[in-house]
Structure 1
Amino acid sequence: MKRVIYFYPKGCCDVSIKEKLRKEEINVIDVRICKYVEIDAYENDRITEILGNPLFIGGKDSFENLFFNARFWESHETLEEKWKIEKDEKKRKYLQALILLSASMVKYCKGEKEVSDLLLEKALSFISELPEELLPLFYITFCLNP
């Protein structure tokens, strides 16, 4: 079975949908609410039978598009793929900071504010350790390309 993220409009349901779908024997990994209601599950037509058609189903996109559209789980996953193969330690630290920032937002959207704060603190510590020549890349990515 293929893992997918179904995106529904915010307000269509709350996090209790996770247990409701599980009671229907649907393999739901997680539910996150931010800009959208994200139902992270193994592909199953019964989800759309119960909730209707999603706005869209997650797919590959750039980190910037994912992050700025509040699709933090996917932005985290996208960067993790790059981080795993990156050899340059400075670039790895840069990517790790962005991964932690995305992960912090995932936790925040799930209401886990203390965990979110810890991850954000760790991301900021990595950012503070970045060489000065990488800082403009950080600012361009987050401030000039929304």
Structure 2
Amino acid sequence: MKIVDIRKCKFTEIDIQDDPEKVIKKLGKPLEIVNTSEIKGNFASLFSDCRFWEAHEVLEEKWKINNNEMERKYLQALILICASMIKYLKGQKEISDKLLNQALSLISELPEDVLPFFYVRFCLNS
């Protein structure tokens, strides 16, 4: 059984590169099996459920196709916040802090008046 990563927050997430049945035999039936190519949910609900990897993936798809520099910075900041949370849950607090500082630096470069609009656009409507 090839386990890549384990994170515990609201749920225990186990990233594997193997047949899920092998993990199920050892640990029991999961609440959900997620294939990264089939992520369901929006950023806000995934983030609030501590499903930071999936939240990151949802935003990354939007970031890849966006040509607006300010929107890309905002999305990149949110992606970095997700990555920071992943590192924090893995006990890598120094890396988490570094990523969070990078996210805050990107957000600080944006005009304050656009932040609520970006929030609605990307967080509530994703």
Question: Please, what TM-score do these two structures have when normalized by structure 1?
Answer: 0.74
> For residue 37 of structure 1, what is the aligned residue in structure 2?
12
Based on CA coordinates, which of the two structures has the bigger radius of gyration?
1
% identical equivalent positions:
56
> For residue 33 of structure 2, what is the aligned residue in structure 1?
57
Superposed, 1:1-146 pairs within 5 Å as: 26-42=1-17, 43-58=19-34, 59-137=39-117
Name the Cα RMSD after superposition.
2.3
Q: Which amino acid aligns with 1:124?
A: L
* Displacement of 1:139: 5.7
* Displacement of 1:134: 1.9
Separation in 2, partners of 1:68, 1:132: 24
Q: Which amino acid aligns with 1:64?
A: A
Q: Which amino acid aligns with 2:106?
A: F
- Provide the secondary structure at the position in 2 that maps to 1:57: coil
Separation in 2, partners of 1:86, 1:138: 13
Runs of 4+ in 1 over 4 A off after TM superposition: 138-141
Q: Which moved more, 1:82-91 or 1:37-46?
A: 37-46
Separation in 2, partners of 1:85, 1:98: 16
Gaps of 5+ in 1: 1-25
> Which protein has greater RCO, CA pairs closer than 8 Å, 6+ apart?
2
* Displacement of 1:138: 5.4
Gaps of 5+ in 2: none
**Higher strand share goes to which structure?**
1
**Higher helix share goes to which structure?**
2
Q: How many residues align?
A: 120
Separation in 1, partners of 2:105, 2:10: 27
